[in-house]
Amino acid sequence: MTGSLQQLLHLLFNVKGLIEWGGTLLVCVIVFIETGFFVGFFLPGDSLLVTAGVFAASGQLEIAKLAVFVPLCAIVGDQIGYWIGRKAGHALYRREDSLIFRKRHLRRAHEFYEKYGGKTIILARFVPIVRTFCPPVAGAAEMPYARYFAFDVVGGLLWGGGMILGGYFLGRQIPNIGENIHYVIAAVIVLSLLPPIIGFFRNRSSGVPKQRVSHPDGVHAPAKPAAFNIKVAPAPTERD
């Protein structure tokens, strides 16, 4: 059992192997699952897209298909996450931890949402784990769907298209980069982890308690103690 799990994890994090095996279709499926379902929070994101772009530069994948279908899958996946949050509401915050769900990930996305408001939908695309849990948080906070969708389309295009085209540009400008793709993957992973690491140390050093925040986009996120106390019913969310 343990050996099978290790093999599965090795396969999932072998970004180059995944692309070689599944091509554009598998890249799109992974993006869709990562953005639409809680189970996808551990799947490769940034590194997968940059590597796919590098593969496209060498002619192994079609850049046009990647540039169109990856952002589309990212946007569609987020809609599922939003409506899960919208229908489940604050029940999400009272859900027990499981293999594929951790309240700390939801809390992290909630705090990100409190800080940045509607812009979270765009910014969260570039933060691992947060991009998976941000849509349900926006749905649970009853962010107006039209506003959410507008932010989400922009974020999906910037993240999906930007990462693919960034990898494609690297592949075209740097000869034989495919032979050293593991260095590119490592660099992308480090860069993608920097924002949460910096945010963690900033929050730890500030020690300022979080208060209820009113956002300019008309969404009022509930204070963290009420939202994450599973023993006390959360306060009702205000509507526009």
Q: Is residue 4 part of a domain?
A: no
Q: Is residue 3 part of a domain?
A: no
Q: Is residue 216 part of a domain?
A: yes
Q: Is residue 10 part of a domain?
A: no
Kindly state the average pLDDT of the residues 176-184: 72
Give the pLDDT confidence score for residue 57 in this predicted structure: 92
Q: Is residue 100 part of a domain?
A: yes
Is the predicted pLDDT of residue 102 greater than 60, yes or no?
A: yes
Question: Range of 196's domain?
Answer: 17-228
pLDDT tens string 109-132? 777 777 777 787 888 888 888 888
Give the pLDDT confidence score for residue 207 in this predicted structure: 56
- DSSP calls for 17-54: HHHHHHHHHHHHHHHHHHHH-GGGGGS--HHHHHHHHH
Q: Is residue 52 part of a domain?
A: yes
| 49-53, 97-101, 102-106, 212-216: least confidently modelled range | 212-216
Kindly state the average pLDDT of the residues 223-240: 39
Is the predicted pLDDT of residue 14 greater than 90, yes or no?
A: no
- List residues bridging with 220 in a β-sheet: 214
Q: Is residue 6 part of a domain?
A: no
193 sits in which H/E element: helix 181-206
What is the domain count for the chain?
1
- Give the span between the Cα atoms of 215 and 223, in whole angstroms: 13
> What predicted TM-score, i.e. pTM, was given to this entire model?
0.72
**What distances in angstroms separate CA 209 from CA 162, 179, 206, 212, one per listed residue?**
35, 48, 9, 10
Q: What is the DSSP letter of 177?
A: G
Burial 139-170, CB ≥16 within 10 A → b, else e: bbbbbeeebbbebbbebbbbbbbbbbbbbbeb
Give the pLDDT confidence score for residue 232 in this predicted structure: 33
Q: Is residue 221 part of a domain?
A: yes
